[in-house]
Every structure is written in C-alpha cells, then in structure tokens.
C-alpha cells in the first residue's frame, strides 16, 4: 500500500466528484484514497441552505487528517484548495496539490469576471444563492460532455458565509511541503495568471493543462490530469 491521498472538494460539490474517475485511478495504483464531504455537502443535489464558515471546513479536514498515523497527500479542488492552504498553516501533510484552486488573493477578481461575463449571476448573488449561479451557468465549472446534466443535478447548496470569507486574501505560508499547482487554461473561474501567481507565491511546481476546465476531475479525458498528478507524486516531470 502506498501513501494515503485525501481529496477535498470545492464549492457546491461533494466527495462524489472524486469517485467517478480519480479514486478508482489512484486506488488501482495502490494509494489509499479518502474523499471527505465537507459539512452540509453529504447529500448530492441538496438545496437546503447551509451557513458554515471556512473555518468549519478547515476543521473538518483537520478531523480527518489528525486521525491518521502518517502524513497524507492532500488534493484540494477550487474552494477546497483554499481550505487546504488554510489548513497547512498549522496542519500536516506530505505533499499538497492545489487543483483549480482559489488563489491566496481570494475570489475578488474571479467573482468580478463572472459578473462581467455573466450579468445574470447578479440576482443570484443578491439572493445568496451560489448554487443558482452554477446551475444557470454550468460552463463556469464544466466542459460540455454527456454527463453534464448529471453533474449539475448532483451539485448542492453552498454557504454564502464561506463564500464571503473567500473574498479575504491570505498570506501564503511556505513550510517546505512539496506542492503542485494545477489549472486548466480554459478555466472560466480562475485565470492562468492566478495559477501562475499561486505557484510563485508558494514556490510550487506549476502544471497548466491545455484546454482544461475548472472541474478537471470530471472531464471526459480527465485521466490525463490524474496521470500528471501521479507523475508529480512519484517524482517524474509532468
């Protein structure tokens, strides 16, 4: 058995987003895989309002890792990437992967881009309905594929309180933990420039995936992104 990988999902997602492709791929390589459901995200498709803080999410990750004997590899997607960044200030992990991650500067610029390019999102923000934004504009998360409707239906409500906290920049803390920053060049939420800035601020390796969307782990050809992560974990160039 190789190391343990802990997967942390992003906004409006759940552990389900890792279960279709990434977990089977890494398990067949011998990794032990643990995908967590952040508080309020255990029921796919739930529209029940939740009001958790980012700190609640960080604590949920800490609860999982603290029960492990050895430091795991942690992969955080989108908001999960920011949760991982905050966790690493005091927490422990062997290696970290920030996939399509919120940058240390927060989501001010990504939010402004979304509103500029998709003006209809404004009404949903006034309603504190983040799920409504992504249901209305699925291209923010996904490339068009045969399972798009299925994925949309599995997305759940998100805490607007947590979103507001994502607007606040953090100070990147370098702790000598090997880190990979991975992002798609066609990501509609986080820009290539922001991926580059994140990698620079952490002294991390950068992997820009040509044509990749925000939800890299749910694309039709997502195995190539899993392969890239595997190569990095095992010391090979991407």
Q: How many Å apart are CA 222 and CA 21, to the nearest integer?
A: 7
In a domain, 58, yes or no: yes
Three-state secondary structure call for residue 219? coil
Check: CB of residue 105 under 8 Å from CB of residue 194.
yes
Distance of CA 178 to the CA centre of its chain: 18
In a domain, 238, yes or no: no
Q: Give the count of beta carbons closer than 10 Å to the beta carbon of residue 121.
A: 21
pLDDT digits (tens, 9 = 90+) for 136-182: 999 999 987 778 899 999 999 999 999 999 999 999 988 899 999 99
In which band, very low, low, confident or very high, does the pLDDT at 2 lie, cut at 50, 70 and 90?
Answer: confident
**What DSSP state is assigned to residue 3?**
-
Angle at 76 between CA 232 and CA 107, to 5 degrees: 120
pLDDT digits (tens, 9 = 90+) for 56-100: 999 999 999 999 999 999 999 999 999 999 999 999 999 999 999
Check: CB of residue 59 under 8 Å from CB of residue 142.
no
> Domain holding 223: CATH number?
3.40.50.1820
Domain that holds residue 134: 4-233
Q: How many Å apart are CA 71 and CA 74, to the nearest integer?
A: 9
| Structural domain total, the chain | 1
Q: How many Å apart are CA 65 and CA 34, to the nearest integer?
A: 10
């Amino acid at each position: 058995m190789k190391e343990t990988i802990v997967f942390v999902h992003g906004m409006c997602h759940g552990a389900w987003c890792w279960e279709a492709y990434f977990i089977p791929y890494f398990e067949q390589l011998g990794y032990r895989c643990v995908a967590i459901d952040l508080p309020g995200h255990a029921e796919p498709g739930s529209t029940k309002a939740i009001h958790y803080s980012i700190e609640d999410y960080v604590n949920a990750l800490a609860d999982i890792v603290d029960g492990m004997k050895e430091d795991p590899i942690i992969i955080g997607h989108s908001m999960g990437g920011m949760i991982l960044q905050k966790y690493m200030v005091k927490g422990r992990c062997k290696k970290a992967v920030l996939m399509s991650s919120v940058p240390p500067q927060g989501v001010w610029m990504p939010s402004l881009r979304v509103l500029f390019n998709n003006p209809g999102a404004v009404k949903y923000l006034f309603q504190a309905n983040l799920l409504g934004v992504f249901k209305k504009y699925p291209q923010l998360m996904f490339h068009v594929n045969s399972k798009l409707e299925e994925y949309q239906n599995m997305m759940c409500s998100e805490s607007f309180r947590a979103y507001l906290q994502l607007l606040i920049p953090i100070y990147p803390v370098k702790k000598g933990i090997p880190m990979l920053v991975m992002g798609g060049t066609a990501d509609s939420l986080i820009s290539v420039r922001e991926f580059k800035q994140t990698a620079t601020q952490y002294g991390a390796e950068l992997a820009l995936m040509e044509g990749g969307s925000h939800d890299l782990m749910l694309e039709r050809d997502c195995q190539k992104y899993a392969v890239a992560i595997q190569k990095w974990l095992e010391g090979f160039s991407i």
